[in-house]
Amino acid sequence: MATASDWSRVRLHVVSGKGGTGKSTVAAALALGLASQGKNVLLCEVEGRQGIARMFDVDPLPYAETRIATGLTGEGQTPGNVYALHIDAEAALLEYLAMYYKLGRAGKALDRFGVVEFATTIAPGVRDVLLTGKVFEAVQRNSRNKGARHYDAVVLDAPPTGRITQFLNVSDQVAGLAKVGPIKHQADTMMTLFRSVRTAVHLVTLLEEMPVQETADGITELHRAGLPVGGVVVNLVRSRDLDPADLAAAGAGTLDRTAIAKDLDRVGIEATPQLVDGLVAEAAEHAERRALEDAQREVVQGLEVPSYELPRLPGGVDLGGLYQLAALLKEQRLA
């Protein structure tokens, strides 16, 4: 793995990744890890799947900041809290209309007539401005915002890698829709945050060719758009069940079948030729997978960004597993 960087100046952690890499799990673990440093953290999702609620085993989230967890307790340290927000574009537009145009009841009337859904459907750029705008507002808050909770960090479970640059590059998205006015101004203001050292876009991958290639392409696109690349989190890493010598023998097909049979007999399992052959074949497949993973790990290390690794948990990811992953991210200094 590449050496860790100092993320202490980052207020907005954007987590993206190819579908199936576990980006939502990594975002949740990162939020818990940051809360373990005594920080109050807001974990946001924008894809409408209620993934946060399922991971933390809580009721479906409303369009309101809801406390869902406490960080890991450390010696002599008071943990922070994790709050969650399910950002809905339609609700965000109503809030936007109320905030900037003083349309309270009138805005709700527009919603009843379907105007809100129409506006966010025909203009995807506006939809992204609304989604990211709510995240921007949470990051920008300070002690002068009376009645609003102040967060030390915001973690965004963002769209997949293939769309992340377009999603964050809101200024370009609205350029064809609004040359002037409050939407254009808000988009330009948000870009000052998204392109600053207070933001980091972390990409999640697996040690497989397609996710790694998509990660590499994502990094190139982010750099091209002037957006700050954070770290690469390699997720679901398999455990090292064989030592290097046995792994090499498994790959070469030279494992000692007699020794395997004796080990089976020692634990009370009948060492039939078929069983031994099956174990040898499985070991060869494992060695082949490990060789492919090691090759992809070298590609990740060549991306010239900090990288981190999280293991594949045998029992899957429940709340306890999230805390385990959070501790590992904290240990590796991403959180």
**What are 103-126's pLDDT values in tens digits?**
444 445 445 445 445 455 545 567
- What is the predicted pLDDT for the residue at 280? 93
Measured between alpha carbons, how far is 162 from 51 in angstroms, rounded to an integer? 20
pLDDT at 75: 66
Global confidence as pTM:
0.87
- Which of the residues in the chain have pLDDT under 50? 1-3, 101-107, 109-110, 112-113, 115-116, 118, 122
81 by DSSP, 3-state: which?
Answer: strand
What pLDDT score was predicted for residue 257?
Answer: 92
C-alpha distances in angstroms, 45 versus 32, 85, 216, 254, 255?
A: 15, 7, 24, 50, 48
- The one-letter code for the residue type at 130 is L
| Structure confidence at residue 293 (pLDDT) | 94
Structural contact between residues 37 and 80, judged by C-beta atoms closer than 8 angstroms: yes
- Residue 96: its pLDDT value, please? 61
Domains and CATH numbers, the chain: 12-238+312-331 (3.40.50.300), 244-285 (no CATH)
Residue 158 has which token pair? 């963002």
d(CA 272, CA 198): 61
